[in-house]
Amino acid sequence: MKNRKTIAHQRVWSIAFPMLLVGISTPLLGIVDTAVVGHLSEPYFLGAIAIGAMIFNFLFWGLGFLRMGTTGLTARAIGEVNKTELNLILYRGLFLASGLGVLLIVFQGALSSLVFSLIDSSDEVLFYTKAYFDIRIWAAPATLGSYVLLGWFLGQGKPRWNLILVVTVNVLNIILDVIFVVWLDLNAAGVAWATLIAEYTGLLAGLVIATRLIQRKTAHSSLAAILEPIELKKYLVVNLNVFIRTILLLMSFALFTWQGAKYGELVLAANAILMNLQTLMAYVLDSIAHAAEVLVGKYYHAKQKYKLKCVLIASAQWSAFVAIFFSALYWLFGSLLFDMLTGIQDVKLLALQYLPWLILSPLVSVWSYWLDGLYIGANLMQQMRNTMLISFLVFLTAWQSLLSFENHGLWAALTIFMAARAITMGLVARKYFVF
pLDDT in tens, 30-61: 666 666 766 565 666 777 777 777 777 777 77
Comparing 322 with 224, the larger pLDDT belongs to: 322
Stretch 398-411: mean pLDDT: 94
Q: What is the pLDDT, as a whole number, of residue 1?
A: 41
CA angle 114, 115, 117 (to 5 degrees): 65
Q: Using a pLDDT cut of 70, give the percent of the chain over it.
A: 91
pLDDT digits (tens, 9 = 90+) for 131-182: 888 998 999 999 999 999 998 998 888 888 988 888 888 889 889 988 988 7
Average pLDDT, the chain: 84
Examine the pLDDT at 284 and tell me if it is beyond 90. no
Residue 211 lies in a domain: yes
Residue 12 lies in a domain: yes
Domain count, the chain: 1
Stretch 422-427: mean pLDDT: 95
Residue 195 lies in a domain: yes
Q: What is the pLDDT, as a whole number, of residue 24?
A: 64
For residues 50 and 273, what is the distance between their CA atoms, to the nearest angstrom? 9
Q: Which ranges constitute the DSSP H helices of 214-304? A: 223-226, 229-262, 265-301
Boundaries of domain holding 87: 4-429
For residues 299 and 230, what is the distance between their CA atoms, to the nearest angstrom? 26
Residue 78 lies in a domain: yes
For residues 393 and 389, what is the distance between their CA atoms, to the nearest angstrom? 6
Residue 39 lies in a domain: yes
Residue 164 lies in a domain: yes
For residues 166 and 147, what is the distance between their CA atoms, to the nearest angstrom? 11
Residue 435 lies in a domain: no
| Cα distances (Å, whole numbers) of residue 427 to 241, 363, 380, 398, 423 | 19, 18, 14, 21, 6
For residues 358 and 423, what is the distance between their CA atoms, to the nearest angstrom? 20
Lowest mean pLDDT among 112-116, 119-123, 144-148: 119-123
For residues 344 and 324, what is the distance between their CA atoms, to the nearest angstrom? 29
- Beta carbons of 203 and 139 less than 8 angstroms apart: no
pLDDT digits (tens, 9 = 90+) for 188-218: 788 889 989 999 999 999 999 998 888 665 5
Sign of CA dihedral 142, 145, 150, 156: negative
Residue 434 lies in a domain: no
